[in-house]
């Protein structure tokens, strides 16, 4: 664990639970964005009641999260969506190798904490600071910390 993690002083200034919720919502959004960018038949539409909807084939899910709605509203063109995917990769790469591995297992692969700790040979006192550091770095690089009050 010689890699640079954010200090406890820095991570304790953020509500980690809410950052985790925003992170999960953002990762769901990225899945949707990649689907939209991969197929020309999907579009973002604003309904007469001013709700954002993704239109296309019937297997496209509706936007249900407030965070997704805010972000989709901000990124409503193809160039902006591509920029969002670029920012996602930039944010992911800002983490250390250990943080990326834990982040991938916990948030992308949705593995159980005990399995991750066993697989990565971590104790609880090692797991928590790595997770907190990864979540804070991820959200700060993307600017997701400003959406915390929206949840």
Residue 69 host element (H or E) = helix 66-74
- Interval 50-100: pLDDT, tens: 555 656 554 445 555 666 666 666 656 777 778 888 888 889 889 999 999
Q: How many residues does the chain have?
A: 151
The alpha carbon dihedral of 7, 8, 11, 16 has a sign of positive
Among candidates 143, 150, 127, which has minimal Cα distance to 1? 127
Q: What is the mean pLDDT of residues 22-34?
A: 87
Residue identified by tokens 């002083």 is: 9
Q: Which two tokens stand for residue 18?
A: 């809410």
**121 CB contacts (<8 Å, ≥6 apart)?**
none
Query: What pLDDT is recorded for position 17?
Result: 93
**pTM higher than 0.95:** no
Q: What is the mean pLDDT of residues 12-18?
A: 91
Query: What pLDDT is recorded for position 60?
Result: 46
User: Is residue 120 classed exposed, middle or buried when 0-12, 13-18 and 19+ CB atoms within 10 A define those classes?
Assistant: middle
Query: What pLDDT is recorded for position 83?
Result: 84
Read off the pLDDT band of 110 (50, 70, 90). very high
| Percent of the chain topping pLDDT 70 | 70
């Amino acid at each position: 664990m010689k890699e640079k993690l954010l200090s406890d002083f820095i991570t304790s200034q953020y509500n980690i639970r809410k950052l985790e919720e925003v992170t999960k919502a953002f990762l769901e959004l990225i899945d949707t964005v990649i689907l939209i960018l991969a197929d020309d038949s999907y579009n973002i539409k604003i309904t007469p009641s001013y709700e954002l909807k993704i239109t296309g084939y019937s297997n496209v899910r509706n936007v249900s999260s407030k965070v997704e709605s805010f972000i989709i509203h901000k990124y409503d063109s193809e160039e902006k969506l591509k920029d969002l995917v670029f920012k996602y990769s930039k944010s992911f790469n800002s983490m250390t190798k250990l943080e990326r591995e834990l982040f991938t297992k916990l948030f992308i692969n949705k593995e159980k904490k005990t399995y991750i700790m066993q697989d990565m040979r971590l104790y609880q006192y090692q797991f928590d600071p790595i997770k907190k550091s990864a979540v804070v770095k991820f959200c700060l690089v993307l600017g997701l910390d400003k959406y915390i009050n929206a949840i």
